[in-house]
Amino acid sequence: MVKEEQHFPIVGIGASAGGLAAFESFFAKMPSDNGMAFVLVQHLAPEHNSILSDLIKQYTEMQVCQVEDGMLVEPNCVYIIPPNRDMTLVDGRLFLSESASQGTTFAY
């Protein structure tokens, strides 16, 4: 069955390594049935593993996941860029590539 095309806002939010408190505050106040998708890009040193998904899950009932290449973006979900990756949004899907710089970037 082909899924009917959906139209909803996709919100990109970026932060430096110190942005966790802002993410927590934002998602603690954001209703889980808001009809939007959120893409989080946090700058981390390439050698660090990210636990951001686990931390954000404590503050929202939305589905929270680390992005996998080609992942379809859905409303009421939070997507987190993996460490040391660049990410692009194309036709409602998130695509990952090796980071060209030391960190993460997002483009659409």
SS3 5: coil
Domain contains 57: yes
Q: What integer pLDDT is reported at residue 99 of this predicted model?
A: 81
Q: What residue numbers bound the domain in which 63 lies? A: 10-107
pLDDT at 51: 83
Q: Which residue has the tokens 């990410």?
A: 87
* pLDDT tens for the 108 residues of the chain, in order: 445 567 999 999 998 877 889 999 999 999 999 999 999 998 766 666 778 899 999 999 999 999 999 999 999 999 999 888 899 999 999 999 988 765 555 554
Could you tell me if residue 2 is inside a domain? no
Q: What CATH number is associated with residue 44? A: 3.40.50.180
- Model pTM score: 0.85
pLDDT attached to residue 18:
78
In a domain, 3, yes or no: no
Return the structure tokens found at 106: 């997002």
4 falls within a domain = no
DSSP states along the chain? -PPPP----EEEEEE-GGGHHHHHHHHHHS-TTSS-EEEEEE---TTSPP-HHHHHHTT-SSEEEE--TTEEP-TTEEEEPPTTEEEEEETTEEEEEE-SSSS-EEE-
In this prediction, residue 29 carries a pLDDT of: 96
Number of structural domains the chain divides into: 1
pLDDT over 70, % of the chain: 82
Q: Is residue 1 part of a domain?
A: no
Give bridge partners of residue 15 from the DSSP assignment.
42
